[in-house]
């Protein structure tokens, strides 16, 4: 059938159809026209038109039929994940890590450089530049091929990508990180709190897949937290969401000291970074003083986690960060504490990702940002 | 121009256009075809078709041209707010209040009945039925005209509309409130926490309009809280979001007792419900013991508010409930306390709505629910 449609309506309809098609290809992978029409509930002619538009724009490509199949197989359409690249950065106190990935978020190359909390701002930014260069060069990526870059760092980061306050990294508060990276990269640059990106990574690739609402707790010598609601990291009105660690009743910043207190036999002569592991090991062996120290630490974690849980009611709490390696020792007592406080205790689990979780989260966030621009080009 | 479109695409396009038109009429009020075409950026012919569809479905009506205007005024289209009605209920410890409103949420009629916390569940439900009947009868509303009903009540209410736990109302925990109301009303029935609905009312009609993220604090002899993010009340995974009051470090449930402690001269011989007002008055006069008592109370409020603020980073905190009448006494000290704790202190303000805020919020929520069904008929 035919109907009269004006140009504006036609553009609207064609864009709507193109978005439907590209979303289907990204979600379900390459498929032939017929299947794509069924999947999108669009007419064959409509899908063909949409595919033509998308091929023209570089988002979709036709695949040569694979010889293997019986008969003459239909040629399939696929999303062009290689059409562009994204850059994810983890700028921490002890390391700087960069990841280049395709538009599906598959990491193609990693580059890293160890740093110390004592570096000056200029030294740290110079190290960031070196790692970015190494990662782009190492992956054969030209600056213009990077469609979006996301950097995760430690602290309260405002919506302009400025480090407002960072306790863990010296000389870092006030750093206009997004501006610095934008001067180097000719693409949209976003800067996010590292716990928030780690939480996103757990949601997309780790322990929290298929979970809509979760609280992520970074536990280590430094503590942090993040909230994901309906699959989206919660930034809050100014980027300060998840900063429960500064609350005086929890004081997560110094909570790891509780592990040290009262266990001299275990910790004497150890370097600060070795203390926690030693106490967790001793507690694992049932050494009474260490078990008590761990319980003291868990009580503080539980009070902070309960405050966040009672505020947003997540399905899941993910424990990440260095101390999550001791999840076997921490999880039971933490669950018991939460059950005494919460109206509904969320499921607890340990991180499923390694020390690359922030960089992986940054890559996921960059891909999300590109998708949001694709689906709302006005942004 | 014309193009070939299959039936599915045509339906899709027509629905898209109809939704665009009805959204414009709801947002900006009645307007003639030309203005509607400009406003929606649709072709005149397209708008005409969409209006025909909507008139057929009862959502839109044509208005007779008003004689007053010069020349022959164009006839205008308007959204039919009177096409259906919604019912909002506030089921509290001390009162039951029902409101019937049109599809724009304009309240047409109110009915109320005082109750006591001591009523049995059956007595309270019977009172609810009487108030519903009185409100529908009083507004000349037939059951079939009610398109959606929302009830607010006190406590942790699960996603099925069951009262899981209510401390403020005797014999209320475990009440399948949604089921009870559904047996009476042949329309979708939703049950929500009353603080959550009060927060929504403040966002739509009160102190928090044009604010995207807010925390609502119900302060009174009973305390409660709710969070609104991006204009949507946060329920959480099980409906327990905002239940910070049960956290042992804040214990808002008994926080109002702090007002009574140490001010015998002021409160001796007063009925429990008179104590707070007396202490606030004395503090307003600068009476030292009362000022101290108010500060003790404010410190607890601040710790709980800070925990929520540090978790979700709202722009605004609204103080509602009976004690908010003493906002002049509470606001200054509360702001000062929050500034010592929060990374970014939200703006503080008092409720702009009276004791009908929960019923008004219920009406707003019912209208939202209808809109969501209109925009996603699959729901």
User: In the predicted model, is pLDDT for residue B202 greater than 60?
Assistant: yes
Q: Do A312 and A220 lie in a common domain?
A: yes
A:B CB pairs within 8 Å: 176
One domain for residues A134 and A169: yes
Work out how many domains chain B is built from and give that number. 3
User: Would the ipTM clear 0.95, i.e. be above it?
Assistant: no
Nearest to A148 by CA among A377, A330, A371: A371
How far is Cα A284 from Cα B240, in angstroms, rounded to an integer?
Answer: 34
pLDDT tens readout for residues A109-151: 999 999 999 999 999 999 999 999 999 999 999 999 999 999 9
Yes or no: say if B75 and B353 are a contact pair by the CB < 8 Å rule: no
Residues B123, B113 contacting (CB under 8 angstroms) = no
**For all residues of chain A together, what is the average pLDDT?**
91
pLDDT, position A378: 43
User: Whole domain around residue B287: which residue ranges?
Assistant: 210-352
Q: In this predicted model, what pLDDT tens digit does every residue of B361-379 receive, in sequence order?
A: 999 999 999 887 765 544 3
Q: Is residue B104 part of a domain?
A: yes
CATH number at residue B309: 3.30.420.40
CB distance A249–B249 less than 8 Å? yes
User: How confident is the model over A23-43, as pLDDT tens digits?
Assistant: 899 889 999 999 999 999 899
Last residue of a domain, one of B79, B100, B122: B79
Q: Tell me the shortest Cα–Cα distance from B105 to chain A, in angstroms.
A: 27
Tokens of B157: 């209410």
In a domain, B379, yes or no: no
Residues A27 and A52 in one domain: yes
Cα torsion angle, A8, A10, A11, A12, sign: positive
Residue B125: inside a domain: yes
Mean pLDDT of B132-159: 96
- State whether B53 and B108 are in the same domain: no
Residues from chain B that touch A223, judged by Cβ atoms under 8 A, are none
For residue range A215-238, what is the model confidence (pLDDT) as tens digits? Answer: 999 998 888 999 999 999 999 999
Q: Are B344 and A238 inside 8 Å of each other by CB?
A: yes
pLDDT for A372 = 80
Q: Is residue B24 part of a domain?
A: yes
Facing residue for B236 by CB, picked from A12, A17, A313: A313
Task: Examine residue A378 and state whether it is found in any structural domain, yes or no.
Answer: no
Q: How confident is the model at residue B70 (pLDDT cuts 50, 70, 90)?
A: low
If asked whether residues B341 and B237 sit together in one domain, one would say yes
| Residue of A164, A213, A237 lying closest to B236 (CB–CB) | A213
Domain limit, last residue, from A79, A105, A131: A79
In this structure, are B88 and B184 located in the same domain? yes
- pLDDT greater than 60 at residue B6: no
Q: Identify whether residues B192 and B151 lie together within a single domain.
A: yes
The pLDDT value given to residue B39: 92
Q: Does B45 lie in the same domain as B134?
A: no
For residue B85, what are the contacts with CB-CB under 8 A and spacing of at least 6? B100, B101, B102, B103, B108, B139, B141, B145, B146, B147
Residue B251: pLDDT over 50? yes
Let me know if residue B11 belongs to a domain: yes
- CATH of residue A57's domain is 1.10.10.10
**Does B250 lie in the same domain as B160?**
no
Q: From the list A164, A239, A312, which residue is nearest B241 (CB)? A: A312
Q: What is the pTM of this model?
A: 0.89
User: Are B170 and B300 contained in the same domain?
Assistant: no
Are A96 and A114 in a shared domain?
yes
Q: How far is B306 from chain A (nearest CA, A)?
A: 7
- Is residue A12 pLDDT above 80, yes or no? no
Residue range A83-98: mean pLDDT, rounded: 96
- Under an 8 A CB cutoff, do B307 and A311 touch? yes
Q: Where a domain ends, among A52, A79, A106?
A: A79
Distance CA A75, CA B275 (A): 79
- Residue numbers in B near A13 (CB within 8 A): 5, 9, 12-13
Question: Distance from B71 to chain A by nearest Cα, in Å?
Answer: 30
Q: Which residues of A touch B208 (CB under 8 A)?
A: none
Flag if B238 and A45 touch (Cβ within 8 Å). no
Residues A90, A31 share a domain: no
**What percentage of chain B has pLDDT greater than the value 70?**
94
Q: Is the pLDDT of residue A199 over 60?
A: yes
Nearest-by-Cβ selection for A307 from B311, B341, B346: B311
């Amino acid at each position: 059938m035919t109907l009269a449609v004006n140009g504006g309506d036609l553009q609207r309809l064609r864009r709507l159809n193109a978005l439907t098609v590209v979303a289907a290809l990204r979600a379900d992978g390459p498929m032939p026209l017929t299947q794509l029409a069924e999947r999108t509930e669009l007419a064959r002619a409509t899908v063909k038109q949409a595919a033509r538009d998308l091929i023209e724009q570089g988002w979709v490509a036709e695949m040569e039929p694979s010889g293997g199949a019986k008969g003459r197989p239909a040629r399939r359409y696929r999303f062009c994940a290689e059409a562009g690249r994204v850059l994810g950065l983890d700028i921490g106190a002890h390391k700087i890590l960069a990841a280049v990935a395709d538009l599906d978020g598959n990491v193609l190359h990693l580059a890293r450089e160890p740093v110390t909390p004592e570096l000056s701002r200029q030294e740290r930014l110079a190290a960031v530049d070196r790692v970015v260069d190494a990662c782009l060069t190492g992956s054969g990526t030209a600056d213009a091929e990077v469609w979006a870059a996301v950097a995760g760092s430690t602290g309260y980061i405002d919506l302009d990508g400025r480090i407002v306050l960072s306790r863990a990294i010296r000389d870092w508060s006030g750093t206009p990180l997004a501006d610095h990276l934008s001067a180097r990269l000719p693409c949209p640059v976003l800067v996010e709190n590292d716990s928030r990106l780690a939480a996103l990574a757990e949601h997309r690739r780790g322990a929290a897949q298929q979970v809509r609402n979760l609280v992520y707790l970074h536990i280590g010598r430094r503590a942090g937290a993040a909230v994901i609601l309906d699959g989206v990291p919660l930034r809050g009105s100014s980027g300060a969401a998840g900063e429960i660690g500064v609350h005086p009743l929890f004081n997560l910043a110094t909570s790891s000291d509780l592990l040290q207190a009262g266990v001299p036999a275990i910790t004497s002569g150890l370097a600060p970074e070795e203390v926690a592991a030693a106490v967790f090991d001793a507690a694992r062996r049932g050494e009474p003083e260490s078990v008590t120290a761990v319980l003291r630490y868990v009580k503080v974690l539980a009070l902070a986690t309960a405050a966040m849980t009672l505020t947003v009611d997540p399905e899941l709490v993910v424990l990440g960060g260095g101390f999550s390696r001791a999840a076997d020792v921490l999880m039971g007592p933490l669950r018991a504490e939460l059950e005494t406080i919460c109206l509904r205790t969320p499921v607890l689990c340990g991180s499923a990702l390694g020390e690359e979780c922030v960089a992986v989260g940054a890559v996921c966030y960059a891909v999300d940002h590109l998708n949001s621009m694709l689906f709302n080009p006005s942004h």
